[in-house]
Structures are given as structure tokens and as C-alpha cells.
Amino acid sequence: MEECVGQGLIRQIGVCNFSTKKLGDLLNQASIAPMMNQIELHPYLQQEDMLRFCRERDVLLTAYSPLGSVDRPKGMKKQDEPSLLENPVIVEIGAKHKISPAQVLIGWALRRDTVVIPKSVNQERLQQNLAAADVVLDDEDMQAIKSLDMKYRYVDGGFFAAPGSGYTVAGIWDE
């Protein structure tokens, strides 16, 4: 990838699903640091250590599954997984500001200075998602959302840890 930058084929390098350990190892040996690390990031998986690590090293974070990845294939969903969009704290904050739960979640991610990539094909929700850039959550809202962290992954990486693959879920995330 560094050669591609040198040849002018790409402007920046990004990585995805790198743990702090893997990202630290990469930063120690790379000539060109990645600009971005795309990770699962939402109120149930706030990844404060990763956020701090990346801020200290000028690596941006992109949040995937910021709304809880409700559109994942059924085979990737767990029994009784928690819903971010229906969480009472998120719903209450939305009612307080007269915005949708999705706008609360996007506003939360933006307030933390992360890039957020919500997914929708619905025109009304696309417009709401864009309008979330103007959402202003106060410190009380942010504190309430902070209490929701349960280290819960919607995309746990189990599909990478198939028998014979050599991968384990714990090893993927360095946990």
C-alpha cells in the first residue's frame, strides 16, 4: 500500500478491524501511517481505549454498525441481541431533542469525533441521517449514553474463526 501511495495510485492508507495491538505493531513498522481504522463502534461497544489510542497517534476512526447492524443476515444474528434503536436511554434522548433514535446514535458518534457510516436505502432515513450532523447532544446525554457500554459486538468475527482457519474470535480482537 505504501508503494501505491508513492506511485500516486492512492492518497491515504486505511485499515479495518485492527486492535490497538495490531495497529501499534503496524505503526511501529510502517513508513506511512494509516489515516483511518474502521471498526465496529456504537454505544454498546464504545472502544474508549481504541479511541484514545487513535487520537494520540492521529489515526481517525470510522464507526461501522453505528445503529446496531439490524440489517445483517439472520444467520449472523444472535438470539435476543440488544437493540440500540429501541434502547430506552436512546429513545428518551431522541424524544428530548425531537429527533430519531438513529439521529441520537449518529450525533453521539460525531460528538466523539469519529467518522460514522450509517446504512440506509430509505429516502426519509437518509435525510434524517444527514440532518444528524446538526444534532447537539449535551453532556448529560453523553453521560447517559456512556453508561450503555457493554462491550457487545454485533459483528463478532465468528465467521473468520471457522474450523481449520487458524483464527479464534479472541485472537481476532486480541482479547
Mean pLDDT, residues 154-165 taken together: 85
Measured CA to CA, the distance from residue 48 to residue 105 in angstroms comes to 16
The three grid cell numbers given for residue 25, joined into one nine-digit string: 505493531
Label residue 47 by pLDDT band (50, 70, 90): very high
Label residue 31 by pLDDT band (50, 70, 90): very high
16 forms bridges with which residues in the sheet? 38
Q: Which residue from 5, 63, 56 is spatially nearest to 30, judged by alpha carbons?
A: 5
Q: Which residue from 121, 157, 115 is spatially nearest to 133, judged by alpha carbons?
A: 115
Please check whether the domain covering 2-68+81-156 is classified as CATH 3.20.20.100.
yes
140-143 long-range contacts (CB < 8 A, ≥24 apart) are 141/93, 141/96, 141/97, 141/104, 141/108, 142/108, 142/111
